[in-house]
Chains A and B, each alone.
Chain A
Amino acid sequence: MTAIAAYGVDNGGSAGLRLAWMGAVGVAIIAGAGIGSLVAASHGFTIVAFAFGGVVYALSESGHQATLTLARFFCFGLAIGALYMRIVPLDIAVVFGFVLFTWAVSAGWDFFSRRWRPAELPALRAIFNAMRARLLERWTFAIVLAIAVPVSYLISNATGQQKPYWAMLALVLVLRVDFHSSRKLMVERFVGTMLGVTIAALYAALLPGQLPLTIGLVLAALARWPAQQRHGALGVGAITAFVMLMIELVASSQGQAIGLFAARVVDTAIGCGVALLALLLERALYWAARGWLRATPGL
């Protein structure tokens, strides 16, 4: 997951710039997992921590794709730390080890191919300015996310899903302050998830065993970006198939991913459904706050 996240914030530029962004992803995952571990013993504090994750996501949403990735993986770390495992020193070493690995592949690839990719992201100051823009909308979005993230977890948990954090992740993957972007992402996420889990489950059932699953993983990873370029849902399908095959590959018993087939789809549906309601709530809050501010001169 660290390698996927670090790849996600690799926008080219100098070796130092790449390492800084990738290192920030490592810090986000460890910070999330650390906070998650601290609150794990208390259900109430876990819910508060998830709400905090929602606020962090909302406030970073308008910055840049890279800040979104940081916030999403902070939420991911939070969920893992709070729900599944307490952080130990080995986790920190593994996360930063794979930050360095991803950085070495990035820089080494460009160095040996003699095509050094220039930076494709704006200056940090411009990113922070974008995060501070449209302040009212930003805070109404933050309030809604503080409610929506715990709600998606609670619904998934209440319906007995095995991986309730998948609903939270689906939510922060599709919810944008812009309604049209959100709607597009929701459709892509849901259709792509159906596609990805179906392919992975069929593949794992027909071709079990370590070698075939490893080949399947590589094929899914290779298909990720060409599929994404063709259609967002196909890109989601490829990465979903990759994740499901990875679960099957590292599982202690055969068929674990197939057992999670329904959970992945249901959690994605919960995340997308909560995201839709959250969008409606955000618009209502925004217009109410705007009306109140206009009716209150001097504020």
Chain B
Amino acid sequence: MSESLSARSIRFAITVTAPIALNLVLGPQPGWFMRW
């Protein structure tokens, strides 16, 4: 049973944007753990 395109897209968006949002919310400055 393969994953639907919409499910795949939403799972990808959650996976890759949540870390950036977390960085912005929790980080003491922009690029806190995204140092380079």
Q: Which residues of A contact B (CB under 8 A)?
A: 2-4, 6-7, 80, 84-85, 90-91, 94, 98, 101-102, 105-106, 109, 113, 115, 117-118, 120, 210, 214, 217-218, 221-226, 229, 242, 246, 249-252
Contacts and interface: CB of A to CB of B under 8 A. Distances in A.
* Pairs of residues from A and B, 9 with the lowest C-beta to C-beta distance, nearest first: A221-B13, A84-B36, A250-B31, A94-B33, A222-B13, A7-B15, A250-B30, A225-B9, A3-B15
Given A4-B15, A252-B31, 20 more contacts: A3-B16, A3-B19, A4-B16, A84-B35, A84-B36, A85-B35, A85-B36, A109-B11, A214-B21, A217-B17, A222-B9, A222-B13, A223-B9, A224-B9, A224-B12, A225-B9, A229-B5, A246-B20, A246-B34, A251-B31
A251 B34 CA distance: 10
Interface in B1-36: 1-3, 5, 7-21, 23-24, 29-31, 33-36
A249 B24 contact: yes
Nearest to A251: B30
Interface of B: 1-3, 5, 7-21, 23-24, 29-31, 33-36
Nearest to A103: B15
Contacts of A80: 36
A290 B7 CA distance: 48
Nearest to A90: B33
A109 B18 CA distance: 15
B25 to A, nearest CB: 11
B34 A250 contact: yes
Contacts of A2: 19
11 contacts: A7-B11, A85-B35, A105-B18, A117-B2, A210-B24, A221-B12, A221-B13, A222-B12, A224-B12, A250-B34, A251-B30
Contacts of A224: 9, 12-13
Given A249-B24, A252-B30, A226 B9 contact: yes
A214 B12 CA distance: 15
A109 B29 CA distance: 31
A262 B8 CA distance: 31
Contacts of A252: 29-31
B17 A105 contact: no
Contacts of B5: 225-226, 229
B19 A115 contact: no
A7 B3 CA distance: 14
Contact of B14 (A90, A105, A115): A105
B11 to A, nearest CB: 5
A250 B9 CA distance: 23
Contacts of B19: 2-3, 98, 101
A105 B11 contact: yes
Contacts of B30: 249-252
Nearest to A224: B12
A85 B30 CA distance: 16
